[in-house]
């Protein structure tokens, strides 16, 4: 929403605020208190409420004091200008307009990594901001396993000879009816409208403004059913996590989400594992047909196939459940190469296109649909992309566990009963806050370390019968 001429003042505001917040976090007295408390009786049980809060606060403090205030301020300022340059570059589809700002941002992120320190590679330090305690090598290993299975699976889907009729999703779906239907579904799966809202924005998001004020947004396309409906389920999934955090721990680590990869698992779980399942639509479809005249002559099976359309595409945010992770692999590999100076900015657009050709079999026709499509790098969010793929992997592993413990979730979904799953997630994930790291949480809840296998199994079980078996 920011008009271009407002950038200068906004950058000054962001610089001032980030510096003030940094000063408060790194206050020496606060550091002394934390150092004393984590050694004392209050933290005797490191996984107890107080122990976990103190341990996580100390961890954050130890990171923050390593960052020079001038770097924090320069990053905040650069992010504002770089984002404006990116908006214009994307409008013109001109990478060169963004390149100097990306170069500056990368240089600052390298400094950030060096200041923070890291175990094996600079990327470790940046990844840690979004996925605490994760290691690049571990993430790369699990994603490599996924890629090995995913590329042939997508090929099998494409070569199976069957394709859904997606034109039924592009009929007329009046936005007010979409809104009413989406609200009803979000409430049914457990988003609490007494403690949250659904509004319209250009770019959908979920944000928490307080323990009982969670905002989710969407956008309506009259001629495409999926955009708003699955977007609402996705953001409602994030919102159910936010609403499931312990209010009495608000502002403390135990009352905050553990990592972006766990946050994204909650949105993906409701959007894809629940919302694109046949059982979900066995319950909701008769109502959808009553509300939308456009679906009156479309049988359930045909609709379910259409919302599970798989095809390689250029834009990450519009990618289907199977190909989405390939978009992430491209970014994960490129941003590591950039950070390590193994890839020059001159070669970035070409490298981007080559990876799209290799993983997805398609080449972007221009930079706007290629290397310029995402806001992340302009905002300094380097190390962020893999959390999307981790979200899909976490979702698959959690869903499989919930399905086993709750005795067949499809049976519940077909009856419109989503409470057992929501309560299970609340107990196992939401109310844990940051008590454990994401990897430890997954291991504790599912009894296994994170693996690509549950996601690959899920995709095969769903897409095999639809496309190639």
Interface residue list for Zn ion (CB under 5 A): 267
Closest CA to 117 of 130, 126, 107, 106: 126
Pairing outcome for strands 214-218 and 206-208 = antiparallel
How many angstroms from the chain centroid is the CA of residue 160?
Answer: 30
Q: How far is the CB of 192 from Zn ion (least distance, A)?
A: 19
Q: Assign 292 to helix, strand or coil.
A: coil
Q: How far is the CB of 26 from Zn ion (least distance, A)?
A: 30
Q: How far is the CB of 396 from Zn ion (least distance, A)?
A: 16
Radius of gyration of the chain (CA): 23
Which is closer to Zn ion, CB of 164 or CB of 231? 231
Tell me if residue 8 is catalytic. no
Q: How far is the CB of 418 from Zn ion (least distance, A)?
A: 19
CA gap 69, 62 in Å, rounded: 14
Which is closer to Zn ion, CB of 267 or CB of 401? 267
- Between the alpha carbon of residue 74 and those of residues 82, 111, 446, the distances in Å are 12, 11, 42
Which is closer to Zn ion, CB of 193 or CB of 205? 205
Kindly report the number of other CB atoms within 10 A of residue 332's CB atom.
Answer: 24
Which is closer to Zn ion, CB of 83 or CB of 267? 267
DSSP of 234-281: HHHHHHHHHHHS-GGGTTSGGGS-S-HHHHHHHHHIIIIIITTSHHHH
Please tell me what DSSP assigns to residue 221.
Answer: B
Q: How far is the CB of 251 from Zn ion (least distance, A)?
A: 23
Which is closer to Zn ion, CB of 234 or CB of 400? 234
Q: Assign 215 to helix, strand or coil.
A: strand
Q: How far is the CB of 202 from Zn ion (least distance, A)?
A: 16
- Sequence-distant (6+) residues with CB within 8 A of 268 are 234, 237, 391, 392, 395
Which residue, judged by CB position, is nearest to Zn ion in the bound state?
267
Q: Which residue has the tokens 């999703």?
A: 169
Which is closer to Zn ion, CB of 12 or CB of 207? 207
CA gap 426, 244 in Å, rounded: 6
Q: Which residue has the tokens 């553990």?
A: 258
**Do the beta carbons of residue 275 and residue 233 sit within 8 Å?**
yes
Strand order in the sheet with 214-218: 196-200, 214-218, 206-208
Please tell me what DSSP assigns to residue 295.
Answer: G
Q: How far is the CB of 248 from Zn ion (least distance, A)?
A: 26
Which is closer to Zn ion, CB of 231 or CB of 380? 231
CA gap 453, 361 in Å, rounded: 24
Of the candidates 235, 242, 264, 335, the residue annotated as catalytic is 235
Q: How far is the CB of 265 from Zn ion (least distance, A)?
A: 10
Closest CA to 399 of 322, 465, 459, 319: 459
Q: Please, what sign has the CA dihedral across residues 260, 266, 271, 273? A: positive
Which is closer to Zn ion, CB of 226 or CB of 267? 267
Catalytic residue ranges: 235
């Amino acid at each position: 929403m920011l008009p271009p001429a407002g950038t200068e003042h906004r950058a000054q505001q962001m610089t001032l605020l980030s510096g003030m917040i940094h000063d408060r976090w790194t206050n020496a007295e606060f550091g002394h208190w934390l150092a004393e408390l984590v050694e004392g009786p209050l933290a005797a049980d490191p996984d107890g409420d107080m122990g976990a809060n103190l341990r996580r606060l100390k961890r954050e403090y130890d990171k923050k004091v390593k960052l020079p205030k001038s770097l924090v301020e320069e990053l905040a300022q650069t992010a504002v200008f770089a984002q404006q340059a990116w908006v214009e570059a994307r409008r013109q589809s001109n990478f060169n307009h963004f390149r100097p700002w990306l170069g500056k941002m990368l240089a600052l992120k390298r400094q950030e990594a060096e200041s923070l320190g890291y175990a094996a590679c600079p990327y470790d330090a940046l990844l840690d901001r979004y996925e605490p305690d994760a290691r690049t090598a571990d993430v790369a290993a699990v994603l490599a396993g996924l890629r090995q299975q995913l590329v042939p699976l997508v090929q099998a889907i494409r070569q199976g000879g069957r394709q859904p009729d997606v034109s039924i999703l592009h009929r007329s779906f009046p936005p007010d009816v979409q809104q009413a239907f989406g609200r009803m579904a979000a409430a049914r799966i457990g988003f609490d409208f007494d403690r949250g809202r659904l509004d319209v924005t250009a770019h959908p998001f979920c944000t928490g403004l307080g323990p009982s004020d969670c905002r989710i947004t969407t956008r309506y396309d009259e001629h495409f059913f999926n955009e708003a409906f699955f977007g609402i389920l996705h953001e409602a999934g994030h919102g159910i996590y936010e609403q499931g955090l312990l209010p009495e721990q608000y502002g403390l680590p135990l009352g905050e989400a553990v990592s972006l990869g766990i946050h994204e698992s909650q949105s993906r779980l409701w959007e894809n594992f629940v919302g694109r399942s046949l059982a979900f639509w066995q319950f909701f479809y008769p109502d959808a047909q009553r509300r939308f005249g456009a679906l009156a002559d479309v049988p359930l099976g045909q609709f379910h196939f259409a919302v599970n359309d798989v095809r390689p595409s250029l834009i990450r945010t519009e990618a289907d459940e199977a190909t989405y992770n390939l978009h992430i692999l491209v970014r994960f590999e490129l941003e590591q190469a950039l950070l390590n100076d193994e890839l020059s900015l001159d070669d970035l657009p070409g490298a981007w296109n080559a990876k799209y050709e290799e993983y997805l079999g398609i080449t972007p026709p221009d930079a706007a649909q290629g290397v310029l499509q995402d806001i992340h790098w302009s905002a300094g969010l380097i190390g962020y992309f893999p959390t999307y793929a981790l979200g899909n992997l976490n979702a698959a592993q959690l869903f499989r566990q919930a399905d086993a413990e709750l005795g067949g979730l499809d049976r519940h979904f077909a009856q419109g009963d989503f409470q057992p799953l929501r309560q299970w997630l609340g107990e196992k994930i939401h109310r844990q806050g940051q008590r454990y790291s994401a990897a430890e949480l997954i291991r504790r809840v599912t009894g296994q370390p994170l693996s690509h296998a549950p996601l690959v199994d899920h995709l095969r079980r769903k897409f095999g019968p639809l496309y190639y078996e």
